[in-house]
Amino acid sequence: SSNQIYAFLDQTVSYSEDECKNIYSTDGQGTDQFFQDADGKKLMACGPVSGNAQGSYLTMLSADGLMFGIINIVGNFGTVFVDQSYWQSAIAARPSSAAKGYLLGGICWFAIPFSLATSLGLASTALMLPINSGEAGSGLVPPAVADHLLGQAGSALILIMLF
């Protein structure tokens, strides 16, 4: 349930660096850990998040989130102004229909990536899945969570959704 995921995330933030090393080790003692790389950079989601308000995973006050939002807005404005299909649609439609259509389309577009990123990203952290930052950056969190929760059926559903 959502209360259980919130409790797991709250517990994850409270872990110290030594506890994280013990969790992400092959022997449970932290001697052979894969929580950090050789340079000391965190590879796994454990402990507080730097740049987030109070280190929380459940916050809207995130420096990295703000940067992503700015980049996304600038990129999407560029897509709208440069892509010919947007101009053709706007010219062919009545102004009142075009405005409603663009707003409705934006709301529909936003709901899918926002809900998937939030739910599956928080689930991977709460379940303590061994996903490193490179894998997360490559977009492998949704398939990992789906595979963990639903097995091969989850992997198939992610593939169907993507293609």
State the SS3 of 39-75: CCCECCCCCCCCCEHHHCCCCCCEHHHHHHHHHHHHH
Q: What is residue 35's predicted lDDT score, i.e. its pLDDT? A: 61
Residue 102 CB partners (closer than 8 Å, separation 6+): 90
Confidence (pTM): 0.50
Q: What pLDDT score was predicted for residue 147?
A: 92
CA–CA separation, 141 vs 129, rounded Å? 9
pLDDT of residue 28: 67
Q: What is the mean pLDDT of each run of 10 residues along the chain (163 residues)?
A: 71 74 70 66 70 75 84 82 75 78 82 85 86 83 91 91 82
Dihedral over Cα of 123, 126, 128, 133: its sign: positive
Q: In the numeric block, which tokens belong to residue 136?
A: 């997360």
